[in-house]
Amino acid sequence: MPATLTSLFTPANLINGNWSFEGDGTFNAVVDKYHGTELAKLPNATEAQMEDAIVAAHESREVLRKMTAGERSAKLEALATLIEKHQDDLAKLIVQEGGKPIGYAKTEIARCITTVKTAAAEALRFGGEVVPMDFGAGAGRTAITKRFPIGVIAAITPFNFPLNLVLHKVAPAMAVGCPVVLKPAPQAPLSAIVLGRFMEEIGWPKGAFSVLMCGVPVAEKLVKDDRVAMLSFTGSDKVGWHLKAICGKKKVALELGGNAAVIVDEGTDLPAIAKSVAMGANLYAGQTCISTQRIYAVKSVFAEFRDLLVKEFNALKSGDPNDASVSVGPIIDKGHFERIGAWVDEALNGGATLLAGGKAVDPNCNIYAATLLTNTKDSMKVSCAEVFGPVAVLEEVKDFSDAIAAVNDSTYGLQAGVFTTRIAHMKQAHDELEVGGIIINSIPGFRIDPMPYGGIKDSGLGREGLKYAMEEMSEPRLLVY
């Protein structure tokens, strides 16, 4: 059993530059997701402590406003250097607190470094524009815009990328000069606590970054507070839309769920696609919002692709996420583990056909087999809802147009993968698919951190990706002379 990386984090909340080991008397226990051992207990903050964090963030706006772009960029470069220095231990911590396979955890840390370095670069080139005005009533005048930070950012983040999705909020906020109050996921908050230590080490202004665990009422205080200029939330659609409803007039960015789809066209490399799709549906036990969940293969290739995909699903290794050969590790907790099994059973009882998996591999460690279903109905949860587990459905469609219609028949619209060799079909997908991003000849789980990332419908509002998040966290001010 790996040793707990206790030297990397402080089991406390960072509030206005001070580490607090006390809260409301309750604690959030963080456990190793594979071994079940306790890693840490974090105190849940009181409403008064949240008030302290909000006040400190609000007061730090002037300090950040006076920092030059060069100074903000240098702080971000220093943060990237710290993450790089501790990358091995950070990856191990993510394995422990998140249950993420070690190879994928190392990839997350590499992405963290890219995220912060990109923010450092964007801080130097981010600006306004010259507005064309030298005509009509504007003749002889010049107009320019300059972008200003909007103020305090309330950041609420999920467990599945416990550091990189935090940095997708914190790094752009640092780049434009916005203070942040962060509430990380209770299942995996330790990486965010480590970030608090790093922020101290780089000399980020006191009070401009707080990170604290808390219960729902205290978190809602943060969301509702009028001194907070923007809510940036990544998590479930149910929670996200609730928070939007209660947050008042502030700006909102929501990165929510999905049941990402893949289209497999004729004339494509079916063996390679099967390998990619199987991994895309099951890596990290499918616990990403762009995990491949719905697969539509055109009739002419369906049977061949089905057989290839079943073989790839069965070849995936489940087990200890510390093992570099494992793709399917533990589900984040027992509740979600049992829910996934119940959804699969519901589909099978409703007439779906099991092609692979469909059972628990290790109930003690919350490991569920890589599962592939077919002959499902659109009303089944494994199809219409977000499984967030190692479960996918494969269905036959008549042709490419029918595949697009099937993808669009969803309340979600985050990303879709389209495997095709036809330029016309690529253009059709871009024109007709109702999603935030279309990935050609790759799975929907493809994401490069600087790209605009986000969805439509129940998948959210706004875009992340460093420059795009910086635009969300700033506002243009017009000058005409």
25-54, pLDDT tens digit by residue?
999 999 999 999 999 999 999 999 999 999
Q: Residue 255 catalytic?
A: yes
pLDDT grade, residue 86 (50/70/90)?
very high
Q: Is the pLDDT confidence value at 296 over 60?
A: yes
Amino acid at site 150: I
Q: Known catalytic residue: 289?
A: yes
Q: Of all residues in the chain, what percent carry a pLDDT higher than 90?
A: 98
Contact call for residues 400 and 262 (beta carbons, < 8 A): no
Instruction: Please give the backbone phi and psi of residue 32, each rounded to the nearest 5 degrees, phi first.
Output: -65, 120
Distance in Å from the first CA to the final CA of the chain: 68
Structural domain harbouring 341? 261-449
> Which pLDDT score is estimated for 31?
97
The total number of structural domains in the chain stands at 2
Q: Is the dihedral of CA 277, 159, 7, 364 positive or negative?
A: negative
Q: What is the pLDDT of residue 4?
A: 63
Percent of the chain predicted with pLDDT > 70: 99
Indicate whether 286 and 428 sit together in one domain.
yes
- Would residue 419 count as lying in a domain? yes
Same domain membership, residue 396 and residue 409: yes
Are 239 and 265 contained in the same domain?
no
Contacts of 480 (CB under 8 A, 6+ apart): 133, 138, 141, 142, 143
φ/ψ of 109, rounded to 5, equals: -65, -40
| 240 lies in the same domain as 276 | no
Note whether residue 1 is domain-resident: no
Same domain, 167 and 314: no
Secondary structure (3-state) at 97:
helix
Average of pLDDT values for 315-330? 97
* pLDDT at residue 5, rounded to an integer: 72
CB atoms within 10 A of CB 115: 27
Q: Is 467 within 8 Å of 246 (Cβ atoms)?
A: no
Would residue 454 count as lying in a domain? no
Q: What is the CATH number of the domain that holds 436?
A: 3.40.309.10
Token representation of residue 276: 């990619």
Cα atoms in the 13 Å half-sphere on the side-chain side of 303: 1
Residues 6+ apart with CB under 8 A from 238: none
d(CA 42, CA 323): 28
Same domain as 444, residue 431: yes
Domain assignment of residue 48, yes or no: yes
Residue 91 within any structural domain of the chain: yes
CA distances from 281 to 288, 295, 367 (A): 9, 10, 15
Neighbours of 288 (CB within 10 A): 20
Position 7 pLDDT exceeds 90: no
Q: CA nearest 352: which of 334, 377, 320? A: 377
Output the average pLDDT for the chain: 97
Beta bridge partners of 85: none
Q: Residue 339 falls within a domain, yes or no?
A: yes
The answer on 250 and 293 residing in a single domain is no
Residue 347 and residue 475 in one domain: no
- pTM for this structure? 0.96
CA dist 391 and 428 (Å) reads 28
116 has a pLDDT exceeding 90: yes
318 within some domain: yes
Query: Which entry of 266, 289, 312, 386 is annotated as an active-site residue?
Result: 289
Task: Answer for the pair 418, 412: CB distance below 8 angstroms, yes or no.
Answer: no
**pLDDT, tens digit, 9 for 90 and up, residues 191-247:** 999 999 999 999 999 999 999 999 999 999 999 999 999 999 999 999 999 999 999
* 289, 371: one domain: yes
Together in a domain, 136 and 165: yes
153 assigned to some structural domain = yes
CA separation (Å) from 175 to 125, 169, 199, 341? 10, 10, 14, 43
User: What integer is the mean pLDDT of 52-70?
Assistant: 97
**Same domain (yes/no): 95, 68:** yes
The CATH number given to whatever domain includes residue 238 is: 3.40.605.10
**In 269-359, at which residue ranges do the beta strands (DSSP E only) sit?**
294-298, 353-356
- Verify that 250 and 359 share a domain, yes or no: no
Q: Is the pLDDT of residue 2 over 60?
A: no
CB distance 17 to 303 below 8 Å? no
Given 97, 122, 255, 312, the catalytic residue: 255
Residue 6: predicted pLDDT: 72
